[in-house]
Structure 1
Amino acid sequence: MIIVLARKTLRYLLPYRFLFLVAIAQVILLNALELLKPWPLKLIIDNVQVGGQPLPWEFLKGLSREQLLLAICIGLVLIYLLWGGLSLLHNYTTISIGQRMVNDLRGDLYSHLQRLSLAFHNRQQVGDLLYRIATDTYAIQSLTMNTVIPILSAVVFLVGMFTIMVQLDPLLTFLALSVCPALFITLSLLNRPINKAATQSHQQESVVYSLVQRNISAMRIIQAFTKEDEEHSKFMAASRESLAARLRLYNLQSLYSGVVSLVSAVGTALVVWVAANQVLAGELTVGELVLFTSYLASLYDPINSISQTYGMTQWAQVGVMRVFEILDIERDLPEGTKTFPTVGAKGEIVWDNVSFDYLPDQPTLKQINLRVRAGQKVAIVGPTGAGKSTLVSLLPRFYDPQVGRVTIDGVDVREFQLKSLRRQIGMVLQPPIVFPLSFRENIAYGRPDAALSEVVTAARLARIHDLIVSTSQGYDTVVGERGATLSEGERQRLTIARAILLDAPILILDEPTSSVDAETEALIMEGLDRLTVGRTTLIIAHRLSTVRQADSIVVLRAGQIVEQGTFAELMSQRSAFAALYRTQFSLQGEK
């Protein structure tokens, strides 16, 4: 699993391999400067003091003690100046690489989610997907720049330090490294608990996101039923679980760091005791003791850094795996290869022995056989849950049938490229979706290059123009989030204008007048009558008054076509449609 994860992560690092190599070079230079930091102090103790040791470098020989002290101090300042400047540059380089990787991963995840079918999205919690996009994608930066680079830096520093320490005193070096096996044993023992705690932390954070998203979307219902206190209690419980999971992870990471610090202290004490005795015996200079103890402190710092980074690695690994978990889901709507001609589809549609179910053994559509001729207007009616919306959803391939096929102009819709297919279909769906954009941008959502005159024409046909021009900025007025500043009927008319502007050869109207009054319904139907001329139109209707002018009416019940004919034909028979129609209008008469 780790190898697979590394290979997938590497794919996002490869485009920035040059910058990554620059970052590695910066790591090497930074560690070289870090290794130089204790040397000025050693030179002052061993070479500047009276009776000091011989100078190790030729270019320093011949200087007086005062000159040597000044030169060493200048060198110390230069070392720290170079180190500080290079650190700033290194941080910029690594953060830049990490953020670009996050952006690439986030873009791939968002694009992939858009191409998964509605069947997938119906199974998912929106809050969980939001958390994966907004938070889990950052894990790739932590997994590479915030873990790989620090570990690489620690390894480079340890190698350089080990080389110097061995030359100074092999015995002390061996004693300093003798504690490392204890550190690795600690790491192996805490590996599984830390990984488990990191996974639980991500999952609980996702639950909080999902709960917030659900409740904000349903705020009107929560307030209407005075469920604020109950929902607040649920949120606080989820928040406590999330924080408890995060605390467990922090505790495990702190435990590991504590063990590392304890073991490091034991190693330091052992080395200092032996080294001090060597100084007393004249086997080691004071300057070498100071240099060695400085390196000793620095020796355990990278080891402790690796331990700290390890906990972050576990957290980041879980986050990246959650992102790749979605990316690894195969598209259940395979892309076709065919495209429609420039003039568009003719518009003949056939459902050929189609069966579909959302859940196994719970069929929604059963052996549907239906032919709609090009330019024909067909109304689809039936009780709630009969499968009307599902039937038309198979046409733009929101779903694919398990049995049978849907064709346009004799070609299975699965053979078309999705973009080409959906550009042939104008849709007014339920509920009406309005974006927090201007009126013009909402109407032109499917045709952003449309001229203002075309947008206005579509708005007039949908009977929304008068409302738009009455606002402060007309067509440039921005609509509230989810159309909050509009009534349900106004949102409906706005989506109708959007479908009109698309000017597609096929129209799907899912209850286009369900949210408007009778007067507005008549005006909209007048506009739609002009719009549907020459276009294949499918109208899903609960209000049966809207289907009188349909060329054919299809009656669905329990996922099956039980009747089909013109309005006059069905009304002249003792049909299910006639009974439904009379019942609906008798109820309206009672009102």
Structure 2
Amino acid sequence: MIRKVMPYLLPYRLPFLFALTQVFLMSACEILKPWPIKIVIDNVLGNKPIPWEFAAGFSHQTILILSCLGLVMIYLILGGITLLNNYTTIRIGQRMVNDLRRDIYSHLQRLSLAFHSRRQVGDLMYRVTADTYAIQSLTMNGVFPIVTAAALLGGMFFVMVKIDWQLTLLSLAVVPALFVTISLLSGRISTAATLARQQESEVYSIVQRGMSAMRIVQAFTKEEDEHRKFMTASDLSLDASLRLYTLQTFYSGVINVVMALGTAFVVWVGARHVLSGSLTVGEIVVFTTYLASLYAPINTISQTWGIIQGAKVGVQRVFEILDVERDIKEGHRTFPREGAKGEVAWEAVSFEYMPGQPILKKIDLHVQPGQRVAIVGPTGVGKSTMVSLLPRFYEPQAGRVLIDGTDIREFQTKSLRQQIAMVLQPPLVFPISVRENIAYGRPEATLEEVIEAARLARIHESIDRLPNKYDTVIGEQGATLSEGERQRITIARAILRNAPILILDEPTSSVDAETEALIMEGLNQLTRGRTTFIIAHRLSTVRQADVIIVVKGGEIVEKGDFEELVKGQGPFASLYRSQFSLEE
């Protein structure tokens, strides 16, 4: 844990050392706090001679005034340093949280879709937003207070030994009992903290799923069921949190009782020393004040240990994600400035999501630059999976995919994906302006280029009717647009990308026949000179394809152009006739 956390603390080592300096100054002030009271009791009220030569001629009134002023100054200095120390440590802790969030979010962005398909979005959100705060709790609210307490404890112990070494040793008699309490309860606190975070992340997951599927929830009147699921998870989270807080409170109570027993014992022995004349009243006041201050850092260390146990769980959950190795290994090659030529090949490619359940079986396909390839077949046979291997969303278990004769695993992921523009299902738009949505893949594009892409996608007129035209902000998940409008915006986004390879996954599935004809007209202009893959269930969209392949059972079972396949007696002709008769 220390090895993993230290890289996040090292960039702030100078502010951390500055904070440590403040700690020693605060400890010095804490040590000085009871001495003005001692001087008043022993040298003003008790008429004991003051031991310092420079103050030998001072009157009792002067000594009283100076002692009161000294007490005020000590508290003022202590308050100022404490304020500065709080700001310094909070600033360091927040920056560490920010750095850790940066790393985990960046890491999540680079993990494959296979990883994300196995994880709950809500759980990952909780790790990014909530668990990352644990690094601040672990260091600035955990380890740092222990360092502070240790410095204060050392100073107090030194002074107390000078006053009465026997009482000092007696005051430390409670320490073994404190460590026994820590060892007995820390494991239970850690377990309870783990369960509390897991239950809270489950609440996040349920909320995320419910909010993202609100239309379906309301359409099927499942509001009460979703509310029931949420309350069940929320109640479990509440129970886990209450168990954690109960353990921490019980832990704190036991510590306080142990220290109260130690204080009572020391006061009893100290009073007997005063009665015997070995201690003055002022000295016993200083000692009992130090005793409270001595137990305070011991208490801090004990209480902070409980905080560390809870924080450690959160940090472990974050590093559990950071320790996941990227299953998509980064290549070293880049494409030339002018981009890929567009020659694409699958060579004996096999793929499976789950072991023993193959989706693709030894796929062989060679596509020439500029060819338009339509991929058809029943749902679930691997059409989208096949083209998803091209930008390396997934890695095949066998075989290889090539662009321009080079295995795509040799290319840098960013360079590879810059060669590909995609229209995927379902159509995804962001709650930002229309212009930003279309220019998502090319943010530097001019407004004129954005409008031209929108015209090709046959969406410009719809955008022109919006209140702020291209500056209109789209609702969450595109709620302010129709399905067909969202689809055409994603097509405009792909057009603007101007990549040499296009992947169109059901590009006209959400539009009517008239709009489909307009979109296909624009896409026909776009696909000229570009290698294009069109996944389609509606066979009317594949008429202009140079090559049509039919996928069934994870294999390519038929290949040819439209006229050739329709005239044949194979799967495509059967599929075409059945679809045509349904449309009739």
* Corresponding residue SS for 2:345: strand
Q: How does 1:221-370 map to 2 (within 5 A)?
A: 221-370=216-365
When residues 12 and 50 of structure 1 are mapped into structure 2, their CA distance, relative to the original with a 3 A threshold, is closer
**Whole-Å separation in 2 of the counterparts to 1:239 and 1:36:** 50
- When structure 1 is superposed on structure 2, of 112-121 and 60-69 the one drifting more is 60-69
**Whole-Å separation in 2 of the counterparts to 1:279 and 1:411:** 91
Find the partner of 2:12 among 8, 13, 16: 16
Residue 50 of structure 1: how far off its partner (Å): 4.7
Find the partner of 1:94 among 89, 92, 115: 89
* Corresponding residue SS for 1:147: helix
When residues 409 and 39 of structure 1 are mapped into structure 2, their CA distance, relative to the original with a 3 A threshold, is same
Find the partner of 2:370 among 360, 375, 391: 375
> Could you say which residue in structure 1 is the equivalent of 2:47?
51
> Could you say which residue in structure 1 is the equivalent of 2:211?
216
**Whole-Å separation in 1 of the counterparts to 2:382 and 2:339:** 28
Structure 1 residue identity aligned to 2:5: T
| 1:242-283 deviation per Cα after TM superposition (whole angstroms, max 9, x unaligned) | 111111111211222111111111111111111111111211
**Whole-Å separation in 2 of the counterparts to 1:7 and 1:315:** 18
> Could you say which residue in structure 2 is the equivalent of 1:41?
37
> Could you say which residue in structure 2 is the equivalent of 1:428?
423
Residue 392 of structure 1: how far off its partner (Å): 0.2
When residues 49 and 424 of structure 1 are mapped into structure 2, their CA distance, relative to the original with a 3 A threshold, is same
**Whole-Å separation in 2 of the counterparts to 1:57 and 1:241:** 65
Say whether residues 1:444 and 2:433 are aligned partners. no
Structure 1 residue identity aligned to 2:116: H
When residues 200 and 50 of structure 1 are mapped into structure 2, their CA distance, relative to the original with a 3 A threshold, is closer
**Whole-Å separation in 2 of the counterparts to 1:505 and 1:293:** 81
Residue 51 of structure 1: how far off its partner (Å): 2.2
- When structure 1 is superposed on structure 2, of 43-52 and 549-558 the one drifting more is 43-52
* Corresponding residue SS for 2:141: coil
Structure 2 residue identity aligned to 1:563: E
Say whether residues 1:477 and 2:477 are aligned partners. no
**Whole-Å separation in 1 of the counterparts to 2:542 and 2:476:** 33
| 1:399-418 deviation per Cα after TM superposition (whole angstroms, max 9, x unaligned) | 01000000000000110001
TM-score by length of 1: 0.98
**Whole-Å separation in 2 of the counterparts to 1:160 and 1:357:** 65
> Could you say which residue in structure 2 is the equivalent of 1:396?
391
Q: In angstroms, what is the RMSD of aligned CA positions? A: 0.8
Find the partner of 1:549 among 509, 519, 544: 544
**Whole-Å separation in 2 of the counterparts to 1:15 and 1:405:** 43
Find the partner of 1:103 among 69, 80, 98: 98
Residue 307 of structure 1: how far off its partner (Å): 2.0
In the alignment, structure 2 segments of 5+ residues that lack a partner are: none
> Could you say which residue in structure 2 is the equivalent of 1:26?
22
Residue 526 of structure 1: how far off its partner (Å): 0.2
Structure 1 residue identity aligned to 2:439: A
Report the number of matched residues. Answer: 584
* Corresponding residue SS for 1:375: coil
> Could you say which residue in structure 2 is the equivalent of 1:520?
515
* Corresponding residue SS for 1:216: helix
Residue 190 of structure 1: how far off its partner (Å): 1.2
When residues 87 and 338 of structure 1 are mapped into structure 2, their CA distance, relative to the original with a 3 A threshold, is same
* Corresponding residue SS for 1:178: helix
> Could you say which residue in structure 2 is the equivalent of 1:117?
112
Q: Which runs of 4+ in 1 moved over 6 A?
A: none
**Whole-Å separation in 2 of the counterparts to 1:120 and 1:420:** 22
Find the partner of 2:72 among 67, 70, 77: 77
Find the partner of 2:573 among 567, 570, 578: 578
Q: How does 1:156-235 map to 2 (within 5 A)?
A: 156-235=151-230
- When structure 1 is superposed on structure 2, of 99-108 and 193-202 the one drifting more is 193-202
* Corresponding residue SS for 1:356: strand
Identity %, equivalent residues:
67
Say whether residues 1:141 and 2:132 are aligned partners. no
Structure 2 residue identity aligned to 1:187: I
Structure 2 residue identity aligned to 1:297: A
**Whole-Å separation in 2 of the counterparts to 1:400 and 1:220:** 34
Residue 537 of structure 1: how far off its partner (Å): 0.3
> Could you say which residue in structure 2 is the equivalent of 1:60?
55
Structure 1 residue identity aligned to 2:26: L
| 1:157-188 deviation per Cα after TM superposition (whole angstroms, max 9, x unaligned) | 11110000000001110110011101111111
| 1:526-564 deviation per Cα after TM superposition (whole angstroms, max 9, x unaligned) | 000000000000000010000011001000011110000
* Corresponding residue SS for 1:146: helix
> Could you say which residue in structure 1 is the equivalent of 2:150?
155
| 1:404-434 deviation per Cα after TM superposition (whole angstroms, max 9, x unaligned) | 0000000001100011000000100001110
Structure 1 residue identity aligned to 2:309: Q
* Corresponding residue SS for 2:117: helix
**Whole-Å separation in 1 of the counterparts to 2:185 and 2:433:** 55
**Whole-Å separation in 2 of the counterparts to 1:567 and 1:587:** 19
Say whether residues 1:496 and 2:482 are aligned partners. no
Structure 1 residue identity aligned to 2:6: L
**Whole-Å separation in 2 of the counterparts to 1:289 and 1:544:** 96
* Corresponding residue SS for 1:366: strand
* Corresponding residue SS for 2:268: helix
| 1:76-120 deviation per Cα after TM superposition (whole angstroms, max 9, x unaligned) | 111011111111110110000001100000000000000000000
Structure 2 residue identity aligned to 1:37: K
In the alignment, structure 1 segments of 5+ residues that lack a partner are: none
**Whole-Å separation in 1 of the counterparts to 2:62 and 2:78:** 24
Structure 2 residue identity aligned to 1:556: V
**Whole-Å separation in 2 of the counterparts to 1:137 and 1:60:** 56
Residue 325 of structure 1: how far off its partner (Å): 0.3
**Whole-Å separation in 2 of the counterparts to 1:466 and 1:228:** 37
When residues 362 and 114 of structure 1 are mapped into structure 2, their CA distance, relative to the original with a 3 A threshold, is same
> Could you say which residue in structure 2 is the equivalent of 1:6?
2
* Corresponding residue SS for 1:244: helix
**Whole-Å separation in 1 of the counterparts to 2:188 and 2:208:** 30
**Whole-Å separation in 2 of the counterparts to 1:572 and 1:275:** 108
Structure 1 residue identity aligned to 2:35: W
**Whole-Å separation in 1 of the counterparts to 2:496 and 2:476:** 22
- When structure 1 is superposed on structure 2, of 304-313 and 37-46 the one drifting more is 304-313
- When structure 1 is superposed on structure 2, of 216-225 and 194-203 the one drifting more is 216-225
**Whole-Å separation in 1 of the counterparts to 2:55 and 2:321:** 63
